[in-house]
Amino acid sequence: MAKRPRWTWEEDRLVERLYPTMPARELAKMMDRTAEAIRDRARRVLAIEIESRQLFYKYSPDVYEKAIELWSKMPASQVAKELGVNTNQAKNIIKNAPRILAVTKNNMKSRAGHV
C-alpha cells in the first residue's frame, strides 16, 4: 500500500473546521484520505474531542440556545412542539445544552487563535 503524503497545514485547518460537524467518511472522500486517517488526525494531532463531535452531530448549537431560551418561558412539552421534536428529545436537548454550549464556546476560542 502506498504511503500518503504528509498532512498539510490546509488539510489540518479543514479537519479542524469540518470534523466536529461532518462524518469522517464524508471528509475522507473530500480529502482523498481514509476515514480512519481523518479520525486519527483529529484525535491525536489536532486534539479534537470526539465527545464534542458527537454532541454537535445531531443538533446545531442554535437549537440548544433556542431550547434554553424557550424552556425559561414554557414547559418541555411546549419546547418540544416549538423545536419539532418529541418531549423526551426536548428534555435531552435541555439537559445537554449547558455542556454543549460550553464546548462550542471553548472550540471557538481555541480556533480563533489558530486560524
pLDDT tens per residue across span 32-42: 999 999 888 88
Q: Is the dihedral of CA 88, 91, 93, 95 positive or negative?
A: negative
Task: Please tell me the predicted confidence (pLDDT) of residue 43.
Answer: 81
Lowest-confidence region among 55-59, 69-73, 77-81: 55-59
55, 99 Cβ separation under 8 angstroms = yes
Does the model's pTM come out above 0.75?
no
Closest C-alpha to 19, from 6, 4, 5, 45: 45
Higher pLDDT pick, 75 / 27? 75
For 34-75, strand residue ranges (E) read none
Please say if the pLDDT value at position 5 is more than 80.
yes
Task: Please tell me the predicted confidence (pLDDT) of residue 24.
Answer: 84
